[in-house]
Amino acid sequence: MMKFLLSFMICLSLFSCAPKEKSDVIELQFLEVLTSPARTQVLKDVIARYEAENPNIKVTLISPPYEQADNKLSVMLNANETLDIIEVRDHTHKQLVNNKKLLNLESYLENWEEKDDWLDIAWQASRNIEDTAYIFPVSLFLRGLFIRTDILENLGITEMPKTYEELFEMSAQITDPSKNQYGFAFRGKGGVSFWNTIMLSAVNDLNTAPNKGFWTTDGKTVFEDPNAVIMFQKYIDMFNNGVPPDGINWGFNEQVNGFISGVTPFLIQDPDTVPLVQKQLDSSKFNVVPLPVGEASGKSASYPGYSGFGVTSYTEYPEESVDFLMFLCSAEENIQWNKNYGPLPMFKSAYEGDSYFATDVYEAWGYMLANPETYIFVQVPLDSPKYPGWLQLEEQYYQSALIGDMAAKEAMDVWAKYWAK
């Protein structure tokens, strides 16, 4: 009996001292910033598909409220809190690189076969900072001209504007306040980016180098260009003659509502506006056409926005994080993602073989992306220390010129002086 008890105690001791088996499941922390209930659900569905294929990986999604998300990300990164995959926007891209919070993805990108299907603009977005791939871009925000085909046809307009000057003239032509009919869904609040798109299209020799979009190739600011000054005056005239009286106060919601109601049958907006319009308008009543060009330049210039995902520089699981990143940003997932969310995918195949993006309203964006000699992309100087103060300054003088408190050239002179080197 004594021998039995001794043997039992030894076995029990060995069992209790044996090392416990570690879990084979790796948990990755993933933070998104452009949060909304519908978009978060799309991400959860992607994660579920990845976890089903990779049972040894668990991806935990962190979705702060939209208004707090950027701050939440900043606080967590500054404290080096556990984060593996993060969402990066064009406006946060440089800051995150400067703060050394993003992993250099160049070596991983080399061996990723799907990169060969990327649009040129996807490459530009990925390497927008330091000419190094710190992110895989997933969504492109590029404006198009939304048109109410039914309203315009009733008004006798069948030929769509090819130049901004034609757009201005048509907007004034169809405006009849007595019928609450106006032309253009103007953006008053935060409208400078729309005005910049139009202004840049008037300039002949834009500098298309990274972060040089406010200069011409000879080093002068675009605000000094005579054609840009002329375009601003025509834009102001259109505001006075083809826009609802309260257009100076219109933001995004007012723009879209004005378009859907038919009060303003012309609207310039990003592709994520399409799902909002489709919910309330039959497809036979609206369409999207390529952006107009500037009469003087024959070109249409834009600075498209983008969002993407990166891996934190201090992650404990770089290989696993990049593997999930490649799944999340693959062509199959990217196309489905943007169908649900609204922006443009980053893969050429989406515009060639996918019926959703190759036809109907998205055809205009495919056309613009396929014709870079006419539809050129420039980048505003996000990396300049002057940029943070620029938006408020431009908005101030933009509004003053619109309401007639100062001449177009006076505002342009202020902007030129601000950016002069």
Task: Quote the pLDDT of residue 23.
Answer: 58
338 and 388 housed in the same domain:
no
35 and 89 housed in the same domain:
yes
How far is residue 405's CA from residue 402's CA, in Å, rounded to a whole number? 8
Between vectors from CA 121 to CA 383 and to CA 229, what angle results, nearest 5°? Answer: 60
284 and 321 housed in the same domain:
no
In a domain, 107, yes or no: yes
In a domain, 209, yes or no: yes
In a domain, 20, yes or no: no
93 and 149 housed in the same domain:
no
Residue numbers of the chain with a pLDDT score lower than 70: 1-23
271 and 315 housed in the same domain:
no
How far is residue 251's CA from residue 257's CA, in Å, rounded to a whole number? 10
110 and 242 housed in the same domain:
no
- Residue 378: burial class (beta carbons within 10 Å; 0-12, 13-18, 19+): buried
Q: Which domain holds residue 393?
A: 144-300+377-419
| Residue 56 Cα to chain centre, angstroms | 33
Q: DSSP state, 421?
A: -
In a domain, 259, yes or no: yes
pTM: 0.83
Tokens of 363: 């055809």
Task: Quote the pLDDT of residue 19.
Answer: 44
CATH number at residue 409: 3.40.190.10
How far is residue 157's CA from residue 350's CA, in Å, rounded to a whole number? 32
295 and 198 housed in the same domain:
yes
97 and 234 housed in the same domain:
no
Are 247 and 255 spatial neighbours (Cβ–Cβ below 8 Å)?
no
pLDDT in tens, 119-152: 988 998 999 888 899 999 999 999 999 999 999 9
In this structure, the strands spanning 26-31 and 300-302 are unpaired
Are 301 and 376 spatial neighbours (Cβ–Cβ below 8 Å)?
yes
126 and 202 housed in the same domain:
no
Query: The tokens 């710190």 sit on which residue?
Result: 134
In a domain, 6, yes or no: no
Domain total of the chain: 2
Residue 146, SS3? strand
183 and 272 housed in the same domain:
yes
CB-based contacts of 399, cutoff 8 Å, min separation 6: 188, 248
Rg (CA), the chain: 26
